[in-house]
Structure 1
Amino acid sequence: MTTTSPSTDDVEQAAARLQIWGFPLVFAQRVRLNFTQPAAPAAPRPPTSAGAAVGTFGHQRELSSPELRVGVAPNVDTLYSVAWIDLDAGPRRLVMPDLGDRYYSVQVALADASSPWALGRRTHGGQLPPVTLRRGPLARREGDDGVELTTPHRFLMLCVRILVEPGDPSDLERVHALQGAIALTDLAGVDGRVSSTGQRDIALAAVDRAAETVEPSAFGRAISAVVADTDPGSVPAIVRTDLVTCEQGRDAAVVAGLRSGLARIDAHVRTMGETVNGWAVNWRGPDFGDDVLLRAAVAYSQIFVNPAVEAVYPVCETDADGAPLDASSADYEIVLDGADLPPVRSFWSLTMYHAAGLLVANDAARYSIGDRTPGLRRSDDGSIVVHLSSSRPSHAGTNWLPAPDGPFRLMLRLYGPTDDSWRPPPVRRLTRDR
């Protein structure tokens, strides 16, 4: 019996579909590998890292800086405590300390880059009850003994964010004490540490991230791993069919399809949600439903965002005239109307990034401006004017947010948004004063 090889078009289309479905899972897997370092899980991490071995919490001890290069678009408002959990090792239980009036959240993120739950001050006040984590159909239950969450994925991430008071170095020590009181155990109360996830993950971690997106064998190994770690009922049949089609096709057609899928994801980043005043605003957050292209686009631009009820992250890459933001050729400003400031229960911040999503090194060591920024200046009418430039402005008394000498993007974080009709103001290009 002879079999017919798939056509070039069929292979390209299959590879493009696999890229769109698989990109967030492969990227999430890469983030997990970067955090857990399977070849050396106990190796020391820098104080800006929240990395640790699988099954235990790593605690970020200093606020994020330009040296942090894990993930995309880190915040500089909170300290992260992160744990990647392997539920094949059994259920786990999270116990949090009482955080009183301080803002905190516990984001539960899954291996498909979704974040179905964010618990914390918004949901339970200062004291979160015990949270039990199991493998099973996606579900949340709550009772007298706490919260129980189940997921069809082998791996999940717990990301705890604890607010740090800006300009108060002693507050870091208080947050460190709170981090130290976070407990992750099995159901008997025993430390849930898992030292290694095996040779497969060591081999995956050794592969260049870029190769996983366009090189057929690397992509194939990566996506096969995430499929193996997901309950079969949660993997669409077309994914398994497309995997077979790509295995039977020529590498050139697979590469073309992977690049096509990646281009579609990149294009959708600029149109997901709605675009207003140059800002892309996604009020759905990680509520993707069956929209796999939206899921891929969110992972591409800001993987592991919180549910929108917890935080919303408008992103701006163009000025008021639609031109790309580029501080090598212009300065900019954004004016937040005093009568129409970002509507939040908790706080807001505006963060500067390189086009690739990394923080921008600068002599002022300032990476964001927000309602908690020490010395924030307001105009007589209560408005806040933020100057964006690669060089310090010549006039004093400016709310300066340093930009790179080149392309950049902005992210506005709204923690506890209260009005989904609010839209950020445009970023306006200025005549340089130097």
Structure 2
Amino acid sequence: MKRQNRTIAHLLLASTVSFTLFAGCEKETDPVSRAAKVDEKEGIAVPSLEETKAIAEEAFIFGLPLVMNYAVMQEFAVDKNSGQFKAPFNQIKNERRVATPEDTAVITPNSDTPYSICWLDLRAEPMVISVPSVEKERYYAVQLIDSNTYNYGYIGSRATGSEPGDYLVVGPDWKGEKPAGIKQVFSSTTPFSLALIRTQLFNAGDMPGVERVQAGYKVQPLSAFLETPAPPAAPTINFVPATTAGIKANFYEYLDASLEFVPVMPVDKEIRTKLATIGIGPGKKFSFKDLSAEHKAAVILAMKEGDAKVDKFLSTGMKNINGWNVGAFFGDAAFYKGDWLMRAGSAKGGLLGNDPVEAMYPYTRVDAAGEPLDGSKHNYTLTFAAGQLPPVNAFWSVTMYDGKSQLLVANPINRYLINSPMLPTLKKNADGSVTLYIQKDNPGADKESNWLPAPNDTIYLVMRLYWPKTEAPSILPAGEGSWKPPGILQAK
């Protein structure tokens, strides 16, 4: 089974590469050289070799989320043989289960809520998303994400309430007024967009309750909603197949393919223009194998250094609180403000995450002392003091991931997380606190209820706080809130 985004996010380059940037023989097929000739003809300054490397590095950082998103779209909505296929465009796939280690298309998958997934094609006409009445105690959220990986809107418990309603999602070229019967209009910056729906599961026996809610989710074209003639269908697209091997071999060709469906915006006009100077953009074909030796060297170094900058952001770009990284990762175009490094970090840290008001994601790879978490070397504990459980309006969880792949960890009891709906079954300490046992081996019958199984290797832990409270104690504002996640301790 392909694991595309894990491969992309830890992209390429396991070996150390050391190249000297030198002048050499130019190849007629070299996409950088071809772009340079066009620039020269149009009186535009041609990038030097060092400038080419710098632009390729910027392209990697700018393009990483776009390529990751494109690959997920391929797996979910295009390639029926991907092993992760959900449904064709504009059709909802209701998952009647939570994520397991078998789900590999998206890194750090949520295993709290069954998903309903619909990839929207907004080219021919807008789509209407309809939601049912949902009981107030059950959290649900429809997260709208475009191909820029911007979260451009929400429907659900927090954003719109528990009442039924019809909502319009439009593409970047749509012009019109809000139709009668539509509660709100959401505008995607791209013609393809993902509607990612989370429905809270209270416990293992609650799946029928989730299924009743899921049955009320509906997606239809605006013409069908209005009962008017449908416009002509959008042209068929021959998408570039997103294979793991292909992306490893030629990241920038997939960036070209991604950019076909990402219109230029004022915020990214400058970097898109810069990318074009080395032959990257929609309608282009940046083929790594056609590069000259010196350009290959420059591009490889650019990807290595770009990936290192993303990793550095992930380790230092957030507020460190007791070993947990706490901050605001995800949002719309106004949230990122052209900070491509933050956007790349959010994708690599956990693609398709929520805005902080919808969910917060403290994450860690280290214990409270700053030592790397490793299930092959230590057992650990995480203790929430009495009255100090994560403050949320919906629910919270602590999820275990393999430290290398960021995928869920197979274990003997098929437990991938501990969350607040499990509190009635968790054992409390004498002082009212709750201790979680984080280790690869079963801690014994008296502690098994509180056991979060770990890999026999490095550990990546993510805490999720859905609909975090805004009144004190609160984790908000991100990194500055009055509630602090407790540190993880090595077991004695």
Are the equivalent residues in 1 in contact too, given 2:139–2:157 (CA < 8 A)? yes
Per-residue deviation, residues 230-253 of structure 1 (Å, max 9, x unmatched): 223354233232232256872221
- Inter-partner Cα distance in structure 2 for 1:206 and 1:197: 23
Are the equivalent residues in 2 in contact too, given 1:204–1:222 (CA < 8 A)? no
- 1:238 counterpart = 2:271: yes
- 1:19 counterpart = 2:89: no
Distance 1:76 1:10, change over 3 A: same
What SS class does the counterpart of residue 421 from structure 2 fall into?
coil
Q: 1:62 aligns with which of 97, 100, 110?
A: 97
The alpha carbon displacement at 1:197 in A equals 8.1
Are the equivalent residues in 1 in contact too, given 2:101–2:407 (CA < 8 A)? yes
- Inter-partner Cα distance in structure 2 for 1:382 and 1:196: 60
The alpha carbon displacement at 1:288 in A equals 2.0
Are the equivalent residues in 2 in contact too, given 1:285–1:312 (CA < 8 A)? no
Per-residue deviation, residues 321-345 of structure 1 (Å, max 9, x unmatched): 1111001011000111112211111
One-letter code of the match for 1:429?
Q
Per-residue deviation, residues 124-167 of structure 1 (Å, max 9, x unmatched): 22124211011138999899631101122111100110011213
Map 1:306-325 to 2 at 5 A: 306-325=354-373
- 1:428 counterpart = 2:428: no
One-letter code of the match for 2:437?
H
The alpha carbon displacement at 1:301 in A equals 1.0
The alpha carbon displacement at 1:298 in A equals 0.5
Map 1:272-287 to 2 at 5 A: 272-286=317-331, 287=335
The alpha carbon displacement at 1:264 in A equals 0.7
Per-residue deviation, residues 263-292 of structure 1 (Å, max 9, x unmatched): 111111112221111111123533322211
- 1:183 counterpart = 2:218: yes
- The residue number in structure 2 matching 1:264 is 309
- The residue number in structure 1 matching 2:388 is 340
Per-residue deviation, residues 152-201 of structure 1 (Å, max 9, x unmatched): 21111001100112132xx2123223222211111122699x99985531
One-letter code of the match for 1:386?
L
- Inter-partner Cα distance in structure 1 for 2:271 and 2:329: 26
- Inter-partner Cα distance in structure 1 for 2:370 and 2:135: 44
- The residue number in structure 2 matching 1:163 is 200
- Inter-partner Cα distance in structure 1 for 2:274 and 2:57: 13
- Inter-partner Cα distance in structure 2 for 1:302 and 1:131: 27
Pairs aligned (count): 416
Per-residue deviation, residues 391-421 of structure 1 (Å, max 9, x unmatched): 0013613511000000011110001111121
Q: 2:69 aligns with which of 28, 47, 55?
A: 28
Bigger shift: residues 243-252 or 406-415: 243-252
- Inter-partner Cα distance in structure 1 for 2:154 and 2:174: 14
One-letter code of the match for 1:244?
T
- The residue number in structure 2 matching 1:370 is 419
Bigger shift: residues 80-89 or 143-152: 143-152
The alpha carbon displacement at 1:210 in A equals 4.8
Q: 2:353 aligns with which of 305, 310, 313?
A: 305
Q: Which runs of 5+ in 2 are unaligned?
A: 1-35, 280-285
- 1:229 counterpart = 2:278: no
One-letter code of the match for 1:266?
D
- Inter-partner Cα distance in structure 2 for 1:339 and 1:55: 45
The alpha carbon displacement at 1:367 in A equals 0.9
What SS class does the counterpart of residue 116 from structure 1 fall into?
strand
Q: 1:411 aligns with which of 432, 443, 462?
A: 462
- Inter-partner Cα distance in structure 1 for 2:85 and 2:199: 13
Bigger shift: residues 388-397 or 349-358: 388-397
The alpha carbon displacement at 1:315 in A equals 0.4
Are the equivalent residues in 1 in contact too, given 2:375–2:454 (CA < 8 A)? yes
Per-residue deviation, residues 51-109 of structure 1 (Å, max 9, x unmatched): 21111111111111111111011122211001111111311000111112221000011
Q: 1:400 aligns with which of 451, 472, 480?
A: 451
Are the equivalent residues in 1 in contact too, given 2:330–2:343 (CA < 8 A)? no
One-letter code of the match for 2:213?
L
What SS class does the counterpart of residue 93 from structure 1 fall into?
strand
Whichever of the two has the greater Rg, that structure is 2
One-letter code of the match for 2:458?
P
What SS class does the counterpart of residue 236 from structure 1 fall into?
helix
Distance 1:196 1:161, change over 3 A: farther
One-letter code of the match for 1:53?
P
- 1:219 counterpart = 2:264: no
What SS class does the counterpart of residue 189 from structure 1 fall into?
helix
Q: 2:160 aligns with which of 124, 129, 143?
A: 124
Are the equivalent residues in 1 in contact too, given 2:124–2:233 (CA < 8 A)? no
What SS class does the counterpart of residue 425 from structure 2 fall into?
coil
- The residue number in structure 1 matching 2:409 is 360
Are the equivalent residues in 2 in contact too, given 1:53–1:195 (CA < 8 A)? no
- The residue number in structure 2 matching 1:96 is 131
- Inter-partner Cα distance in structure 2 for 1:137 and 1:290: 22
- The residue number in structure 1 matching 2:109 is 74
- Inter-partner Cα distance in structure 1 for 2:92 and 2:388: 39
What SS class does the counterpart of residue 385 from structure 1 fall into?
strand
Distance 1:239 1:283, change over 3 A: same
- Inter-partner Cα distance in structure 1 for 2:443 and 2:233: 50
- Inter-partner Cα distance in structure 2 for 1:406 and 1:284: 27
What SS class does the counterpart of residue 114 from structure 2 fall into?
strand
- The residue number in structure 2 matching 1:389 is 439
Q: What percentage of aligned pairs have identical amino acids?
A: 27
Q: Which runs of 5+ in 1 are unaligned?
A: none
- Inter-partner Cα distance in structure 1 for 2:178 and 2:343: 25
Are the equivalent residues in 1 in contact too, given 2:90–2:121 (CA < 8 A)? yes
- The residue number in structure 2 matching 1:105 is 141
- Inter-partner Cα distance in structure 2 for 1:198 and 1:222: 19
One-letter code of the match for 1:208?
A
What SS class does the counterpart of residue 78 from structure 1 fall into?
coil
Are the equivalent residues in 1 in contact too, given 2:172–2:191 (CA < 8 A)? no
What SS class does the counterpart of residue 231 from structure 1 fall into?
coil
Are the equivalent residues in 1 in contact too, given 2:116–2:198 (CA < 8 A)? yes
